[in-house]
Structure 1
Amino acid sequence: MKLANHLCGRWQEGGGEGLALLDPVSGEPLVSVSSEGLDLAEALAFARREGGRALRAMTYEMRAAALTRVADVLQAKRADYFDISLRNSGATEADAGFDVDGAIFTLKAYARAGKVLGAGRCLREGARVPLAKDGVFQGQHFLVPMSGAAIFINAFNFPAWGLWEKAAPALLAGMPVFVKPATPTAWLAQRMVADVVEAGVLPPGALSIVCGSARDLLDHVGECDVVSFTGSADTAARIRNHPAVVARAVRINVEADSVNSAILGPDAVPGSAEFDLAVKEIVRELSIKAGQKCTAIRRVLAPAPVARALADAVAARLAKMPVGNPRTTGVRIGPLVSKAQQTAALAGLAKLREDAEVVYGGDPDFVPVDADPRQAAFVQPTLLFCEKGLAARYVHDVEVFGPVATVLPYADAAEAVAIARRGGGSLVASVYSADPAFVGALVPAIADLHGRIMVVDAAVGSNHTGHGNVMPTCLHGGPGRAGGGEELGGLRALAMYHRRHVVQGGPAVLELLSQEAVDAALLGA
């Protein structure tokens, strides 16, 4: 079966045989995708013209209601999406839930939040600015929905959440969505779009999808489009430097590589709640999605006196987690999504081993449960230990996109800060400590290089939302090598899809233009 593309308000099949999507356990071909011969310029124009116009004619609360209907459609098809996740991504039930349920949760969160914007169609920012002594000439800042398309070029690891965490704020803002999912796992995103289109809960042109190669898509971007990319730093650089993007100053949002850290404080000793919470979270980050998360823990920073004990505790837990075919009862960790990803992960692991010793895993003869290693795309969960600290050549730069992490001992808080910052910009760091002096010094010292910092102590306990779990109400993104982008953060995300401008004129003019505007301060409420 070849997956169709939804463009110009209708389903269109690309030419040729297409590229096969495979089961990462058996290697069996599932479906194929192709964008060959499709008119992407006209598809973008249709989305802007038809979808954008219809969405902008709606109020914020009307668009919020549409998001609720989208979420209801997806909820009704949840079992189908879990099946596709199992077959195309090798997802365990927990993995599929992380992706599919996370997508539905995010949509519902934006549907609820959007109601506070009421019957407005644009945003009024701040008070009027007097520009003449007698008040007859003033300035007012506004934010209006951009008249282009929100173009999403997504990663393979979250075909459901990766689509809807971007689409929810874009649709709520009034911009049509044009998504190009990563090819290896495009089936789930395509099926979700198909179900939403069939349900008729969004205007024609509000939701488009092209599967397979992006081809000349970026050649046709315009000044009022937004391009949001999740993936490698190399691809991000090509997008940023694309001639059309540069010439038209197209707004770009990027989430790229990230060597995230978990940091134990000096008080997180064996037997303490903080130590146990850290061990549990490190193991969870190595197991969920087989470590294929942009937010997964890649480096574990621990005080030198407890670093070995921490590594041993993590290794002991990993040894109890069966790795193999997710269809088999008891399996806790599944495969990577493809043989190509397996090859890339093993190559990265080889580099890390030049800096570090293997504490657990890394067995070249590893045999997964109920799977042929010659056909399947497994990587054995691997924990390494690196004594080199800041002198390590690869540990701070190579992100192995799989179930791999490295423990690094540190001597004092200053060295912990230096090692965390050596990652060059990360999506998230988690801190396990109840020591106010340590936390108070560490967090401000690493904050400018991290999009999110999660602090866990005994009082928080298991109530935290997770190192790798992205909440729709909190910022997702990071500086430097993490891409420099920002997503989510509640209604703050709508700013990406609005254009700020100032109108200068008399009070009557500004009052007229403010009639359909709501206070932009609500975005940060």
Structure 2
Amino acid sequence: MKLANHICGQWLEGRGEGLPLHDPVSGEQLVTVSSDGLDLAAALEFSRREGGAALRAMTYAARAAMLGGVAEVLQAKRADYFDISLRNSGATEADAGFDVDGAIFTLKSYARAGKVLGAARCLREGGRVALAKTDVFQGQHFLVPLSGVAIFINAFNFPAWGLWEKAAPALLAGVPVFVKPATPTAWLAQRMVADVVEAGVLPTGAISIVCGSARELLDHVGECDVVSFTGSADTAARIRNHPAVVARSVRVNIEADSVNSAILGPDAVPGSAEFDLAVKEVVRELTVKAGQKCTAIRRVLVPAPVARDLAAAVAARLAGMPVGNPRTAGVRVGPLVSKAQQAAALEGLARLREDAEVVYGADPGFMPVDADPQQAAFVQPTLLFCDKGLAARQVHDVEVFGPVATVLPYGDVAEAVAFARRGGGSLVASVYSADPAFVGALVPAIADLHGRIMVVDASVGANHTGHGNVMPTCLHGGPGRAGGGEELGGLRALAMYHRRHVVQGSAAVLDLLSREAADAALLGA
């Protein structure tokens, strides 16, 4: 079966046999995808003209209700999506839930949040500014929805959540979305779009999807478009420097590489709640989705006196996590999504081992449960230990996109800060400590290089949302090597899809233009 593309309000197959998508456990070919022969320039223009106009004619509240309708469609098809996740991504039940349920939850969150913007169609920012000796001439800042299209070039690891966490704020803002999912796992995103289109909950042209190669898509971007990319730093650099993107000053949002840290304070000793919470979270981040998360823990910074204890505790838990075919009862960890990703992860692991010793995993004789290792794409969960600090050549730079993490002992808070900052910019760091002096010194010192910092102590316990779990009400993104982008954060995400401008005129003119404007302060509420 070849997956069709939805553009210009119709379903079209690309030419040729297409690129195959496989089951990462059995190697079985599932479907093919192709974008060859599609008129991508016409597709983008249709989205702008038809989808954009229809969305902007709606109020924020109406678009919020529309998102609720999308969530209902997806909720009704949840079992189908879990099946596709199992077959195309090798997802366990928990992994599929992380992706699919996360997508539905995010849509519902934006459906609720958007109601506060009411019957408005634009946003008014701040008070009026006097520009004359009297009030006869004033200035007022506004934000209006962009008249372009939001182009999403997504990653393979979250085909469901990665689509809808971007689409929800764009659609709520009144901007149509054009999705290019990562090829290896495109099936789930394509099926979700197909179900939403069939249900008719979105205006024609509000959502489009192209599976397979992006081809010359970026050649056709315009001044009012937005490009949002999740993936490698190398591809991100090519997008940022694409001639059309540069010439037309197109907005670009990037989420790229990130060697995220978990950091234990000096009070997180064996037997403490903070130590136990850290162990549990490191294991979870190594095993959920087989470590294939942009937010997963890659480095574990531990006070030197207890670093070996932490490593031993994590290794003991990993030994009780069966790895194999997710169709088999008791299996807790599935495969990577493809043989190509397996090869990349094993290559990265080899580089990390130049700096580090193996505490657990990396067993050359590793055999997954109920799977042929020659056909399947498994990587055994692996914990490393590196005592080279800042002299390590690979550990602070190489992100293995799989179930691999490295424990690094540190001496004092200054060294912990230096290790965390050496990552060059991360999506998230989690801190396990009830020591106010440590937390008070650490968090401000790493904040400018981290998009999110989660602090956990005994008072929080198991009530935290998770190191790697992105909440729709909180910021997702990170500086430096993590891409410099920002997503989610509640209604703050709408700012990406609006253009700020100021109108100078009489009070009567500003009153006229303010009639359909909501207070932009609500975006940060």
TM tier relative to shorter chain: over 0.9
SS at structure 1 position matched to 2:477: strand
Q: Where does 1:140-159 land on structure 2 (aligned, <5 Å)?
A: 140-159=140-159
The equivalent of 2:67 in structure 1 is 67
Structure 1 residue 297: Cα displacement: 0.1
Aligned length: 525
Shift in Å, 1:66:
0.2
State how far apart, in whole Å, the 1-side matches of 2:72 and 2:58 are. 20
Query: What is the rounded CA distance, in whole Å, between the counterparts of 1:135 and 1:104 in structure 2?
Result: 48
The DSSP-based 3-state class of the residue aligned with 2:79 is helix
Match of 1:134 in 2: 134
Counterpart position of 2:349 = 349
Question: How many angstroms apart in 2 are the aligned matches of 1:405 and 1:89?
Answer: 22
SS at match of 2:401: coil
Aligned: 1:458 with 2:454: no
Amino acid in the other structure paired with 1:297: I
Structure 1 residues 268-327: Cα deviation after superposition (integer angstroms, max 9, x where no partner): 000000000000000000000000000000000000000000000000000000000000
**SS in structure 1 at match of 2:408:** strand
Unaligned runs of 5+ in 2: none
Structure-2 separation of matches of 1:3 and 1:365: 38
String of CA shifts for 1:35-87, please: whole Å, max 9, x gaps: 00000000000000000000000000000000000000000000000000000
In 1, Cα distance between the equivalents of 2:243 and 2:364?
Answer: 44
1:365 deviates by 1.8
Partner of 1:415: 415
Report the TM-score, using the length of structure 2 for normalisation: 1.00
Distance 1:353 1:365 in 2: 17
Structure 1 position 135, deviation (Å) = 1.1
- In the alignment, is residue 122 of structure 1 matched against residue 126 of structure 2? no
Alignment match, 1:447: 447
Q: Name the amino acid aligned to 1:317.
A: R
* Equivalent position of 1:475 in the other structure: 475
Deviations 1:156-183 (A, max 9, x none): 0000000000000000000000000000
Q: Tell me which residue corresponds to 1:187.
A: 187
Distance 2:134 2:105 in 1: 51
Pairing of 1:7-22 with structure 2 (within 5 A): 7-22=7-22
> What's the counterpart of residue 110 of structure 2?
110
* Cα drift, residue 399 of structure 1: 0.1
Which 4+ residue blocks in structure 1 deviate beyond 4 angstroms? none
Question: How far is the alpha carbon of 1:417 from its aligned partner?
Answer: 0.3
- State the distance in 1 between where 2:249 and 2:29 align: 41
* Aligned-pair CA distance for 1:373: 0.3
Map of 1:342-421 to 2, 5 A cutoff? 342-421=342-421
Residue 134 of structure 1 and its aligned partner are, at CA, apart by 1.3
Partner in structure 2 of residue 201 of structure 1:
201
**What TM-score results when the alignment is normalised by the length of structure 1?**
1.00
CA distance in 1, matches of 2:365, 2:165: 39
* Aligned-partner Cα distance in 1 for 2:134–2:420: 55
Identity %: 88
What is the CA-CA distance between 1:364 and the residue it aligns to? 1.7
Deviation at 1:94, TM superposition (A): 0.1
* Distance in structure 2 (CA, Å) of the matches to 1:500 and 1:19: 42
Q: Deviations over 1:196-246 (max 9, x none)?
A: 000000000000000000001000000000000000000000000000000
Matched, 1:434 2:434: yes
Letter matched to residue 200 of structure 1: G
**SS, match of residue 16 in structure 2:** coil
- The aligned counterpart of 1:44 is 44
Q: Which amino acid aligns with 1:123?
A: L
Q: CA RMSD in A?
A: 0.2
Q: Which residue of 2 aligns with 1:300?
A: 300
SS at match of 1:126: strand
Measured in 1, the distance between the counterparts of 2:131 and 2:246 equals 35
Residue identity matched to 2:70: V
Moved more, 360-369 or 277-286: 360-369
Quote the residue 1:317 is aligned against: 317
In structure 1, C-alpha distance between the alignment counterparts of 2:403 and 2:75, rounded to whole Å: 29
CA distance in 2, matches of 1:387, 1:408: 6
Unaligned runs of 5+ in 1: none
In the alignment, which residue of structure 1 is the partner of 2:261? 261
